[in-house]
Amino acid sequence: MHDTVLITGGAGFVGSTLALAIRRAHSGTAVIAFDNLRRRGSEMNLPRLKAEGVRSVHGDVRSLADLAAIRPAPDLILECSAEPSVLAGYGGSPEYLIHTNLTGCFHCLEIARQSKADFLFVSTSRVYPMAGVNGLAFEETETRFRLAPAQAVPGASEYGISEQFPLAGARSLYGMTKLAAELMVAEYGDAYGIRFAIDRCGLLTGPWQMAKADQGVVAYWVAAHCLNRGLKYIGFGGTGKQVRDFLHIDDFCDLVLDQMAHFDAYAGRHWNVGGGVTNSLSLREATVLCREVTGRTVEVVGTDENRPADLRWYITDHRAVSAVRGWTPQRDARRTIGDIAGWIDGHKTELCEVVFG
């Protein structure tokens, strides 16, 4: 196992949950959570990180000096830092997005080069182009859009989108930064002999996600029901039939722990990581399930408004990563929504302002 793990974005949703999972699984491993605490709610994670022996370091991936000051040097870097909003940069400057997601990744790779650390990059399904995904053949059912059985595009099937899906085309400013960072990771791996793996994650969700309307839609949907806030079905006719697969954060932690323990089995490739067809919901279906789990009903209205970079449908084909060592998602929609609702009910005062403020 690795002796010292540096997690960038370590006070965020993904980073903090990974930090705790690693400490619980490997108490002898030093875990450092590095974060600039810019995202609202990340400060809430600091006490629980400290309680489990995770060392928190305040710093910014945009500063190489901040990263270089960390001691001891890591032998594994989990690059979880990001401006995560798919709407980032639209209607304003993309400066923070570019410098955090691209310059930040470069700085992390420099630390990996100097310390000869392994490198696990948390990427996104948003590397796949919008027009390519939205241009697939769809069918419409009573509750969701569904991919038609016959598809002419490689990498699209009844299992979802695989790693073979074509990458040509625009993918959002956010998606561009992550794809460009993936290329940089691979080049550093080749040039400097860095062992790396890239996880192209779909929608990760679960307790402690400070979700917003433009990032973390499942947790945002649950929060609206728990905190009695109205919701909108935006775009695609305002029917709420657009579909995403989701992955409980604990399922992702299970995968990362296996990747850490068997790094060579995963190294040198990018992997589509998500819940797949079984763990997928339309917004309409999510509304029904949230009502059942929470026992609460909120007003939901439809609007034809279309936002930049919105997708009608995306489901992860995770068969490749599952074939490596048998990892598959274990937590279904009802369990996931129940876990999120239970967490929100225990932190209502803080979360009402963080999520909807």
What pLDDT does 240 receive? 97
Q: In this predicted model, what pLDDT tens digit does every residue of 260-304 receive, in sequence order? A: 999 999 999 999 999 999 999 999 999 999 999 999 999 999 998
Nearest one of 135, 152, 170, 173 to 313, comparing CA atoms: 135
Spans of the chain below 50 pLDDT: none
Q: Which of 215, 214, 187, 182 is nearest to 199 (CA)?
A: 182
Tracing tokens 């990581």 back to the chain, one arrives at 273
Closest by CA to 185, choosing from 124, 126, 122, 128, is 122
Cβ-proximal residues to 278 (8 Å cutoff; 6+ apart), any chain = 329, 332
pLDDT of res. 357: 66
Q: 236, exposed or middle or buried, with CB in 10 Å at 0-12, 13-18, 19+?
A: buried
Distance separating alpha carbons of residues 171 and 326, to the nearest angstrom: 30
Q: What pLDDT shows up at residue 272?
A: 98
CB atoms within 10 A of CB 141: 9
pTM of the model: 0.97
> 208: which residues sit within 8 A by CB, 6+ positions away?
13, 16, 17, 44, 45, 249, 343
Distance CA 242, CA 282 (A): 5
| Strand residue runs (E) in the chain | 4-8, 30-35, 55-58, 76-79, 118-124, 138-140, 145-147, 156-157, 160-161, 196-201, 203-205, 231-234, 243-248, 270-273, 280-282, 300-303, 313-314
Q: Provide the β-strand partners of residue 160.
A: 157
241, 140 Cβ separation under 8 angstroms: yes
> 29: closest CA among 268, 251, 256, 199?
256
Query: Kindly report the CA angle at 236 between 226 and 294, in degrees rounded to 5?
Result: 15
CB atoms under 10 Å from CB of 95, counted, come to 9
- Peptide bond before 94: cis, by omega within 30 degrees of 0? no
**Do 220 and 300 meet the contact criterion of CB atoms below 8 Å apart?**
no
pLDDT (0 to 100) of residue 245:
98
Closest alpha carbon to 176 in 91, 89, 246, 247? 89
Question: 3-class DSSP state for residue 273?
Answer: strand
